[in-house]
């Protein structure tokens, strides 16, 4: 199977399995992620609403991309601040850029890491769907870690990240002159280390830097992960 086919398989398998187990249910509050693997999960959820399996599902989206997809597919969109949601979710389902053997994650390739983390860390349960290329032995040296920063603090933040051993690059836009600007009006610095790092310790260390809004290590709410394989099977971990 191609990577795109694996993404659809992982997403469909996860949504259907979580419905069977009662973690996705009518009347629930669900966080929906961003990116090329999360979108098939959004579409599968919409299918299960359309076929009558689910009803009255309240979704909180992690980005403008996901909000637009939900609106197009007929999924009710709320915010964490809405009275009907009350600041907490039953489940969040999302993709990841890398997943290590302990289900720590790097997320934020689509620059939506802040909203993704707010939703993931305010959810009772967390599920991640991925293709096999995202399953890695360790984090920090492969996919660059995104760090969302306040623009005015760019130089001092990058200096502090370098003290943590990271090689840092300001993310530049594609088909846009200048840096990437997040949905929150901030910038993204991508970081990579020469050797693997402890993601939990590094998440705390980076988040302590003044001027950092959030980083793309996700270690505080370990997810169940569904990883599709090239042979058409799905590994659940």
Domains of the chain with bracketed CATH: 3-136+220-236 (3.40.50.1360), 145-216 (3.30.70.260)
* Whole-number Å distance between alpha carbons of 94 and 127: 7
Tens of pLDDT along the chain (237 residues) come to 999 999 999 999 999 999 999 999 999 999 999 888 899 999 999 999 999 999 999 999 998 899 999 999 999 999 999 999 999 999 999 999 999 999 999 999 999 999 999 999 999 999 999 999 999 999 999 999 999 999 999 999 999 999 999 999 999 988 788 899 999 999 999 999 999 999 999 999 999 999 999 999 999 999 999 999 999 999 999
71 is catalytic: no
Instruction: State the pairing for strand pair 217-218/105-106.
Output: antiparallel
Q: Which of 116, 148, 203, 214 is catalytic?
A: 116
**Euclidean distance between the first and final Cα of the chain, in Å?**
20
* Whole-number Å distance between alpha carbons of 196 and 117: 22
At 132 the three-state DSSP class reads helix
pTM of the prediction? 0.94
- Residues with Cβ within 8 Å of 206's Cβ and at least 6 positions away in sequence, in order, are 147, 161, 164, 212, 215, 217
């Amino acid at each position: 199977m191609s990577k795109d086919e694996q993404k659809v398989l992982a997403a469909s398998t996860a949504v259907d399995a979580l419905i069977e187990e009662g973690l996705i249910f009518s009347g629930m509050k669900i966080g929906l992620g961003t990116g090329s693997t999360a979108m098939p999960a959004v579409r599968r959820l919409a299918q299960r609403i359309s076929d009558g399996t689910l009803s009255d599902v309240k979704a909180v989206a992690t980005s403008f991309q996901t909000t637009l997809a939900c609106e197009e597919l007929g999924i009710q969109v709320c915010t964490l601040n809405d009275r009907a949601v009350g600041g907490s979710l039953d489940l969040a389902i999302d993709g990841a850029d890398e997943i290590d053997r302990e289900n720590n994650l790097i997320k934020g390739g689509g620059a939506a890491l802040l909203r993704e983390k707010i939703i993931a860390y305010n959810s009772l349960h967390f599920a991640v769907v991925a293709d096999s290329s995202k399953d890695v032995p360790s984090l920090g040296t492969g996919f660059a870690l995104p760090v969302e920063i306040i623009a005015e603090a760019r130089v001092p933040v990058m200096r502090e990240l370098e003290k943590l051993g990271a090689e840092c690059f300001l993310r530049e836009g594609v088909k846009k002159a200048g840096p990437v600007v997040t949905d929150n009006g901030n910038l993204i610095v991508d970081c990579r280390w020469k050797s693997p790092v402890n993601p939990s310790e590094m998440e705390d260390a980076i988040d302590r830097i003044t001027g950092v809004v959030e980083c793309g290590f996700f270690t505080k709410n370990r997810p169940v992960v569904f990883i599709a394989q090239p042979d058409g099977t799905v590994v659940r971990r």
